[in-house]
Amino acid sequence: MKRFFACFLACLLLIPLASCGGIGGGNEKYTAYTLDYFDTVTTVIGYADSKEAFDLVANDIFATLRRYHELFSIYDSVDGINNLKTLNEERSAVVSEELLDFLEYGKAMYEKTDRRMNIGMGAVLSLWHKAREEGLLDPVKAALPDEEALREASLHCDLDALVLDRQTMTATLTDDKMLLDVGALGKGYAVEMAAKQLEEAGITGYILNAGGNVRTVGTRADGSFWLVGVEDPNREGEYLSTVPVADASLVTSGSYMRYYYVKGKAYHHIISPDTLMPSEFFVSLTVLCRDSAEADALSTALFTVSYEEGLRMLENFPDAEVLWLFPDGEIRTTEGWQGEM
Amino acid sequence: MTSRLHRARRNDILLIASLVFLALVGILLSLFLRRDGAYCVITKNGEEVGRFSLSADREITYYEEDGVGFNTVRIENGRVSVTAASCPDKICVRSRAIRYHGETVVCLPHGLVVTVYGDEEGPDIIV
């Protein structure tokens, strides 16, 4: 009987061998999100040994995003700091090193994108913002911004009028009517700063997603690449492309994200510096490169130029890959686009 | 003496029978539970070098750092196999084409592994 029992135990030992397979390592996957920053939903996905360990990392990320959110705000004052609202109102302000670094980066991007990515277009964008907000509140009375006012505002968008002084840590707007609006760059920049913090701390296995501004840090826990789906605005739940990535950023700019209707026609939020109207070259475009700030800047800049001009601009960004979706449904990508179509 | 021998034989038979039974259950389970693959991931020395859907036929050649050694991976009719290689043992080339979730083809000399995955997992994130 004893021996029979031993046989039975031996057989029991075999069962886990037969039934294993497909179960990953011990690292658990967690998710956290917040609606508090950059007028969008921010998600953190990551692998950690415990919920507590994950929460520590996620809270660090959120704290960084919060700091930049406050620095970049043009609508809300924040006690004790000079942010962009302060600068827009006072025209000159002593700013933190973090904000000065960012403004410097904005000026560099302005040059690198042929003056397409412009954080000094606030005068024009505020007219559109106001018209859109009013149009969404009262769709019957929805109207476009006044053409003359737009043209006047566009004369005050030369970013060279933003003067930075590292000695005195001062930022000055030398054009009286210039307004900063960093909506097209701030999110990506803040996400990049948070991601760099993780990298410096040696933490991997995370995705940071601020409203579709995605930055991956490392790979999944099992070493495989993350899969990022590029949304197909015409077919819900389908993807234009699925891209395996590690340590990379993807940002989509799309005409379907923020818009309002005027007399039955949709007007979205990416305004061309040439026409001062929403750009109509593409339905959406997605940029893939390592740096999230660069991806954010580039996606906006490319959205306002033709495909051919975009290819020329990309010569300044050798590690960036792009997927364009044209209004007629055609999809084009740069040669190095790694995604599965 | 004889009765002890008999008992031993009876237990041996019991052991063998239960092992055979469990093996059959295992085989049946794996047959029923195996999932069709949707894409394959190719790694070289542990690093991912390619990821392809099994739905489109294609052929990719991965070269060694010396630029001479190689493995050619072919995707055809929803199966993936190594069709040619410069390795000495050619075990990868002789392996049959794989198509189910979790199956692998390995080339040890070149550190190349082809793994098939099912498609139950969507993207981790959407932009």
d(CA A222, CA A130) in angstroms, rounded, equals 48
Domain segments of chain A as ranges: 24-74+182-224, 79-180, 225-341
Q: Residue A4: is its pLDDT beyond 70?
A: no
Q: Which residues from B are below 8 Å from A230, CB to CB?
A: 126-127
- Helix (H) or strand (E) run with residue A94 in it: strand A92-94
Q: By the 8 A CB rule, do A45 and A207 touch?
A: yes
Measure the CA dihedral B37/B39/B44/B50, to 10°. Answer: 170
For the CA atoms of chain A, what is the radius of gyration? Answer: 24
- Total Cβ atoms within 10 A of residue B125: 19
pLDDT band of residue A2 (cuts 50, 70, 90) is low
Q: Residue A188: is its pLDDT beyond 60?
A: yes
Q: Residue A289: is its pLDDT beyond 90?
A: yes
Q: Mark A9-44 as b/e (b = at least 16 C-beta within 10 Å).
A: eeeeeeeeeeeeeeeeeebeebebebeebbebebbb
Q: By the 8 A CB rule, do A253 and A324 touch?
A: no
d(CA A265, CA A139) in angstroms, rounded, equals 12
> Using DSSP, how many helices (H) and how many strands (E) does chain A show?
9, 15
Q: Residue A65: is its pLDDT beyond 80?
A: yes
- Helix (H) or strand (E) run with residue B125 in it: strand B125-126
What is A79-180's CATH topology?
T-fold (1.10.3980)
Q: Which residue of A has its CA nearest to B124?
A: A227
Average of per-residue pLDDT values in chain A: 91
Q: How far is CA A284 from the centre of its chain?
A: 14
Q: Which residue of B has its CA nearest to A3?
A: B11
pLDDT of residue B122: 78
d(CA A188, CA A197) in angstroms, rounded, equals 14
Q: Which residue of B has its CA nearest to A242?
A: B123
Q: By the 8 A CB rule, do A46 and A205 touch?
A: yes
Which class for B35: exposed (0-12), middle (13-18), buried (19 or more C-beta within 10 A)?
A: middle
Q: pLDDT by residue (tens digit) across A211-256?
A: 889 999 999 988 889 999 999 998 877 899 999 999 999 999 998 8
Q: By the 8 A CB rule, do B74 and B80 touch?
A: yes
Residue A259: strand pairing partners:
A268
- Indicate the range of A137-151, A171-185, A276-290, B18-32 predicted with least confidence: B18-32
For B6, residues 6+ apart whose C-beta sits below 8 A from its C-beta are none
Taking an 8 Å cut-off on Cβ atoms, the answer to whether B127 and A3 are in contact is no
Sheet hosting strand A170-173, strand order edge to edge: A92-94, A170-173, A162-165
d(CA A94, CA A87) in angstroms, rounded, equals 9
Q: What is the ipTM of this complex?
A: 0.79
Q: By the 8 A CB rule, do A33 and A44 touch?
A: yes
Q: Which residues from A are below 8 Å from B41, CB to CB?
A: 224
What secondary structure, in 3-state letters, does A134-150 show?
HHHHCHHHCCCCCHHHH
Which class for A164: exposed (0-12), middle (13-18), buried (19 or more C-beta within 10 A)?
A: middle
**In CATH, what class is A225-341?**
alpha beta
Helix axis angle for A97-112 and A186-200, nearest 10°, is: 120
Segment A139-162 shows an average pLDDT of 96
Q: pLDDT by residue (tens digit) across A11-60?
A: 555 544 443 333 333 378 898 988 889 888 899 999 999 999 999 999 99
Q: By the 8 A CB rule, do A46 and A54 touch?
A: yes
Q: Which residue of B has its CA nearest to A205?
A: B124
Q: By the 8 A CB rule, do A106 and A185 touch?
A: yes
Nearest CA-CA distance, residue B105 and chain A, Å: 16
Strand-pair category, B125-126 with A226-231:
parallel
pLDDT beneath 70, residues of chain B:
1-3, 5, 119-121
Taking an 8 Å cut-off on Cβ atoms, the answer to whether A207 and B29 are in contact is no
Q: Which residues from A are below 8 Å from B18, CB to CB?
A: 7-8, 11
Nearest CA-CA distance, residue A251 and chain B, Å: 6
Q: Mutate which of A9, A42, A228 to disrupt the B interface (most B C-beta within 10 Å)?
A: A228
Taking an 8 Å cut-off on Cβ atoms, the answer to whether A286 and B127 are in contact is yes
Taking an 8 Å cut-off on Cβ atoms, the answer to whether B51 and A225 are in contact is yes
